[in-house]
Amino acid sequence: MSMITVTYPLGKLESGQPPAAMVAETRPWGFWATLGWFCVAVATYAAITFLFGAGYVIYSVLTHPEAAITFDSPTLDYLASAIAMPSAALVVMLAARYRGPALDYIGFARPRAQHILIGLASLSALWALWFGVLNLFPAYDQSRELIEEYRSILGNPAALAAYWLLGVVTAPVAEEIIFRGFIMRGWSASRLGVIGTIVLSSAAFAVAHVQYNPLGMFRGVHPRTTLRHRAVAQRLDHVANHDAHDVELRC
């Protein structure tokens, strides 16, 4: 279950280097260029998943020519997404590299202890709120469906490995790079501004997670800010949400 934090640049307050130097090192893409690179990343994701599907069909035909082809393969689904997600993130990282150091462009920086504590405290408060809302509206609780999905692959070691790789590593890291690194950097520097970028990027993130119900999608896009411009603490917050979700399913 994906959850993402919404942050925005506070370069003049705590960027860790003078604003003038940052502008000289990283020149943000504009709104349309950022959108274009995002579309290229989406196309890359789609192309890789398609290639996995095509490869599976060819393999099935060659090894079992008389058997009907079925795409009911969780291992294939998880593995394809686990590889496609970082590939899409790599596309925007290459685009960021054209504008300066890629890690600086997406705001990847060493967090202070206080930022990590703020992120963990925010995560705890969010989960408390989330469980309270689910108690009030149990019809929106998708835990049963997700648990059943996880139980269905318990006897498949390959599917389990791909599931954990996707849910704990590649998906959270790639989503942070794309949505809260590359897109936030490019759109917030345009006429859209910070608030408009928060709203629009959150909507894009929700559209990318239509497998969840409306309440689950809202949980993934709620606006929350941190005190440091796109600090690593938010990456830890995002990854922690995937970890907590997967541990919940396994238990």
Report the C-alpha gap between 26 and 154 in whole angstroms.
Answer: 46
Which residue in 169, 94, 144 sits closest to 248, CA to CA?
144
Q: Which residue has the tokens 């960027």?
A: 15
State residue 47's pLDDT score: 96
Predicted TM-score of the model (pTM): 0.72
Distance in angstroms (rounded) separating the CA atoms of residues 110 and 90: 21
Contacts of 202 (CB under 8 A, 6+ apart): 4, 6, 221, 222, 223
Q: Give the relative orientation of helices 232-250 and 113-136 as an angle to the nearest 10 degrees.
A: 40
Residue 200 has pLDDT above 50, yes or no: yes
Strands, DSSP E only, in 30-128? none
Higher pLDDT, 24 or 109: 109
Query: Hey, how many other C-beta atoms are within 10 angstroms of the C-beta on 236?
Result: 20
Mean pLDDT of 21-38: 79
Which residue type occupies 12? K
C-alpha atoms less than 13 angstroms from C-alpha of 191 in its C-beta half-sphere: 1
pLDDT in tens, 74-88: 888 899 999 999 999
Q: How far apart are CA 130 and CA 6, in angstroms?
A: 17
Domain coordinates in residue numbering, the chain: 11-250
The residue among 5 and 203 whose pLDDT is bigger is: 203
- Reported confidence tier of residue 223, pLDDT bands at 50, 70, 90: very low
Determine which helix (DSSP H) or strand (DSSP E) holds 177, and give its type and residue range. helix 171-177
Is residue 215 very low, low, confident or very high in pLDDT (cuts 50, 70, 90)? low
CA dist., res. 178 & res. 38, Å (int): 8
Q: State whether residue 7 is helix, strand or coil.
A: coil
Q: Which two tokens stand for residue 239?
A: 């990854």
C-alpha–C-alpha distance, residues 38 and 31, integer Å: 11
